[in-house]
C-alpha cells in the first residue's frame, strides 16, 4: 500500500515537530523576555511538566487503541515515549546546569537527601533502559515478552514522576493531583483489562503494555 505509507511520511514528521513545540516556545519566550523574572526556574518547571505530560500521553496510547480499535495509533508510541525521555533529560540538565551549576558533589549529596529529587531522579533513571531498548533490534534481541515486561517500567517511572511533582509543591497540590488522577485512570484501565476482561479476548489481540 504505497499510498498509505506516503501518508505516514507526512503525519509522523508533523507529530514530531509538534512534540518539539514546547521547547521551541520556551526558548523563544526566554529570548524575547516573555518568561517571569526567574526564567531559569520557568524552564525547569516547564520541561518537568512536559516530561510528565509525554509520559501520560504515551501511557494513553494502548487504552486509546483498545477503546477505539484504531490500531495505527501504536505507530506513535515509541516516538512519544522517546519525547518523554527527551524532556526528562532536558529537565535533569536544567537541574545540573541551572540549579547546581555542575557541582557533582552537591548533586550526589542532594539526590538521596531531598525526597522530591530522589523521586524525580528515580523517574528519569527508569526511563533509560526503555529508551535504550526502544529499537526493533532490541525487541528481537530480548524477545517480545521480556521486552514488554521490561517496558512496564514506564508505570513506575510515571508514578515516581507524579510523586516528584507532589513532593515539590508546598500547599497548592491541585496540579500534581490532576496528573495523579489521570495516571490512576490510565493504570486502572490496564488493571481492569488484565483482570476483568475475559482471557479469551486477550489471546486474540496482543497484550497492551
Partner 1 sequence: MLIGKPSNIRSSEITDEEVYRNRRQFLKAGSLALAATAASTFLPGCVTNAAESEQTAPAAKGPYDTTETPTPYQAITTYNNYYEFGAEYSLPAKNSKNFKTSPWTIAVSGMVKKPAEYAIEDLLKGLTAEDRIYRMRCVEGWSMVIPWRGIPLASIIKKLEPTPSAKFVEFKTILAPDQMPEQKTNLLPWPYTEGLRLDEAMNPLALFATGIYGQTILNQNGAPIRLVAPWKYGFKGVKSIVTMRFTDIMPKNTWAVATPSEYGFYANVNPNVDHPRWTQKTERPIGQRLTLTQIAKGEVPLKKTLMFNGYADQVASMYAGMDLTKLF
Binding residues (CB under 8 A) for partner 1: these are 27, 30-31, 33, 36-41, 97-99, 101, 106, 110, 113-116, 167-168, 170-172
110/131 with CB nearer partner 1? 110
In angstroms, the CA 205 to CA 202 distance is: 5
Set of cell numbers at residue 68: 477505539
Span between the terminal Cα atoms of the chain, in Å: 28
In the complex, the smallest distance separating the C-beta of residue 52 from partner 1, rounded to whole angstroms, is 17
64/111 with CB nearer partner 1? 111
160/186 with CB nearer partner 1? 160
33/204 with CB nearer partner 1? 33
Give the SS3 label for residue 201: helix
In the complex, the smallest distance separating the C-beta of residue 173 from partner 1, rounded to whole angstroms, is 10
In the complex, the smallest distance separating the C-beta of residue 98 from partner 1, rounded to whole angstroms, is 6
Please list, in sequence order, all residues whose beta carbon lies within 8 angstroms of the beta carbon of residue 94, skipping any fewer than 6 positions away: 40, 43, 44, 47
39/153 with CB nearer partner 1? 39
Please list, in sequence order, all residues whose beta carbon lies within 8 angstroms of the beta carbon of residue 186, skipping any fewer than 6 positions away: 56, 59, 60, 63
In the complex, the smallest distance separating the C-beta of residue 169 from partner 1, rounded to whole angstroms, is 9
In the complex, the smallest distance separating the C-beta of residue 163 from partner 1, rounded to whole angstroms, is 13
For residue 174, CA distances in Å to 19, 29, 154, 168, 177 come to: 25, 26, 23, 12, 5
In angstroms, the CA 104 to CA 107 distance is: 5
Amino acid at each position: 500500500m504505497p499510498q498509505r505509507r506516503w501518508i505516514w511520511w507526512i503525519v509522523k514528521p508533523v507529530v514530531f515537530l509538534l512534540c518539539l513545540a514546547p521547547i521551541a516556545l520556551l526558548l523563544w519566550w526566554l529570548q524575547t523576555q516573555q518568561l517571569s523574572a526567574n526564567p531559569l526556574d520557568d524552564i525547569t518547571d516547564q520541561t518537568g511538566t512536559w516530561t510528565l505530560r509525554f509520559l501520560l500521553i504515551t501511557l494513553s496510547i494502548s487504552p486509546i487503541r483498545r477503546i477505539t480499535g484504531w490500531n495505527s495509533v501504536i505507530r506513535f508510541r515509541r516516538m512519544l515515549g522517546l519525547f518523554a525521555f527527551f524532556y526528562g533529560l532536558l529537565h535533569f540538565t536544567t537541574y545540573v546546569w541551572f540549579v547546581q551549576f555542575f557541582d557533582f558533589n552537591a548533586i550526589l549529596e542532594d539526590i538521596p537527601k531531598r525526597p522530591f529529587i530522589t523521586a524525580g531522579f528515580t523517574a528519569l533513571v527508569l526511563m533509560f533502559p526503555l529508551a535504550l531498548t526502544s529499537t526493533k533490534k532490541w525487541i528481537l534481541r530480548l524477545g517480545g515478552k521480556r521486552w514488554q515486561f521490561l517496558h512496564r517500567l514506564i508505570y513506575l517511572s510515571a508514578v515516581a514522576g507524579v510523586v516528584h511533582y507532589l513532593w515539590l509543591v508546598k500547599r497548592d497540590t491541585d496540579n500534581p493531583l490532576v496528573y495523579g488522577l489521570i495516571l490512576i485512570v490510565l493504570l486502572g484501565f490496564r488493571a481492569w483489562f488484565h483482570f476483568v476482561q475475559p482471557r479469551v479476548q486477550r489471546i486474540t489481540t496482543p497484550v497492551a503494555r
